[in-house]
Amino acid sequence: MHLKSIDIGGLQTPNNVFLAPLAGYTNAVFREMCFSLGAGLTFTEMVSAKGLCYGSKNTQDLLYVTPSYGGIKAVQLFGSDPEYLSRAACSGLIAPFDLIDINMGCPVPKIFNNGEGSALLDDFARASQIIKACKSSGKRVSVKFRTGITAQKLVTADFAKMCEDSGADMITVHGRTRDKIYAGEVNYGEIAAAKRAVSIPVIANGGVFCRQDADILMERTGADGVMVARGAMYSPWIFCELTGSPQPDRCALVKRQLEETNKLYGERFALVFMRKMAAFYTKGKRCSSALRERLFTCDTIEKLEGMINETEF
C-alpha cells in the first residue's frame, strides 16, 4: 500500500489509512488507541444533529475527545434537515473539531426510514443542501456514502460529483449498496467511477481486514486512501500492518484500553464494552469460542483484567 498524506481542504493527514466512524465502538479511548497504532484520521461515532440542537446529553457525550489525542479532530454528523445540520455545525459544541463528516451511508432501518443516512442517496437536492449547510460553519466537510440504495440504481459517480459541487473537501465511498448492509462483494468499479468524477480526495471503504485487502482496494479503485471499519474492531493493530508502524504488545494494549475506558466511562460501561471488544480481538484464535464464553462470565474489572492477562490476542 502506497502511503501518503491527504489534503482535506488544507488539513494534512499523516497518512491515508483512516478509521471509520462506527456507532457504538469508536469512542474517545478507541479512537486514541487506533491513532497511536497508525491511523491517519479517526472520526467520532455518528452524532445526531437534531440531538445536539435539542441539548441531548447522551448525544453530546459522543463528542468527547481525550486531551492527549494528537490527530485531526473529526466529527461525523447525521440528519435530514439542513437547518438542524447548519445549527449543529455552527454551534459551540462542534467548534473544537477541524472536520465535519456527513453520514449519507448508514443502512440501518431506523436511520434510513427517517430519511437520513443512505436514504439521502435518493435525494440529491436535499443532500446538497445539507453539505452546503455544514460548509456554512467555515469548517472542512467530508461525506461518507454508499454506491446506491440497490444495485438497480447505482449513483456513485453522480453523487460524488454533487458532493464536490456542493463544497465537500473529501468523500469516502463504501463500495456496497444500502440493501447489502455489510455483506457481499465490494464494487471496486463504482469507487473507481467516483474517483474519475471528482478532483477532491476519494477514500475507499469496504472489506479491509489485512494489508492484501487494502492493496487490492487501492489498486482496483485508484482511490487516494482506505478506511478501515470492522477490520479495526477485530484487530486494531491492523493500522500497524498497513502503515508499517511497530507492532504493540497486544495484551498490554488491551489492558490499557480497559483501564482508560473504565477511567473515562465508569466500570459498568467498561465491563460490558471491553468484554465485547476482547471477544472481537480473539476471533479466529485457537479455542476462541471457549475464550469468549469465559470472557462474558467476568463480572468485575479485576476478573476481566485477569482474563486478558491469560489471553493471546
Spot the catalytic one: 106, 134, 163, 298. 106
Query: Is 106 among the catalytic positions?
Result: yes
Please count the other Cβ atoms lying within 10 Å of the Cβ belonging to residue 65.
17
Q: What are the φ and ψ backbone dihedral angles of 78, each rounded to 5 degrees?
A: -140, 155
Alpha helices in the chain (DSSP H): 28-36, 49-53, 57-61, 82-89, 109-112, 124-135, 156-165, 188-197, 211-221, 230-234, 238-243, 250-265, 267-281, 288-295, 301-309
How far, in Å, CA of 266 to CA of 277, rounded? 16
Q: Which three cell numbers stand for residue 291?
A: 475464550
Cross-strand pairs, 205: 174, 227
How far, in Å, CA of 276 to CA of 151, rounded? 33
* Active-site amino acid positions: 106
